[in-house]
Amino acid sequence: MVVNSSIHALATQVEMSSRQARAAEEARRAAEEAARATEEAARAAEETARAVEETARFSRIRQARSQRDAEAMGVVVKHMCIDGLTLKDTIAASISRGNLVFGVTNDANGTSSVTMFANPFWTEVAVLSNRLMMNVKRMQKLVGVRLGVGW
């Protein structure tokens, strides 16, 4: 009986050791996979950084080339510098160039400072009418319900 219980205890210890060995092996594999994933993420980040640098370099070269070509053709390249301008001056310059700016106020009561738009009135009406017709075609039932309710 003593021999049998010793063999059983020894078998239990061997089984525990093999479980610990398997757990250690699984932990080692998990650590290797984590290291591999970290290495791949680092490579991807390096590639992304290189791609950003290459894109920025390409953009600078393209801008320099287009400016050089314009100067060679005798075209004066105007760069509007907005450094040092106030917000109102910048918006006024934006409007005078024909850009549309919303939500900016220049007086105490909060009315918009946009006094003219990029397109003439009739162009805006045509665009809005076109959108209305497109929406009527897309959602006929909704338009019918709105007309029935009185909008």
Cα four-point dihedral sign 7, 12, 18, 24: negative
Domain final residue, candidates 63, 79, 95: 79
pLDDT per residue as tens digits for the range 54-108: 777 777 777 777 777 777 766 555 544 445 566 677 667 666 666 554 555 555 5
Q: What is the mean pLDDT of the chain?
A: 73
In terms of domains, do 47 and 8 share one? yes
In terms of domains, do 14 and 49 share one? yes
Cα four-point dihedral sign 8, 12, 14, 18: positive
Domains in the chain, number: 2
Residue 3: HSE in the Cβ half-sphere, 13 Å Cα cutoff: 0
In terms of domains, do 19 and 75 share one? yes
CB 104 within 8 A of CB 87: yes
CB atoms within 10 A of CB 149: 7
Domain that holds residue 131: 87-149
In terms of domains, do 108 and 72 share one? no
pLDDT per residue as tens digits for the range 2-12: 566 777 777 77
116 DSSP 8-state letter = S
In terms of domains, do 66 and 114 share one? no
In terms of domains, do 6 and 70 share one? yes
In terms of domains, do 73 and 10 share one? yes
Q: What is the pLDDT of residue 82?
A: 46
pTM: 0.29
Would you give the distance in Å from CA 120 to the centre of its chain? 33
CB 112 within 8 A of CB 103: yes
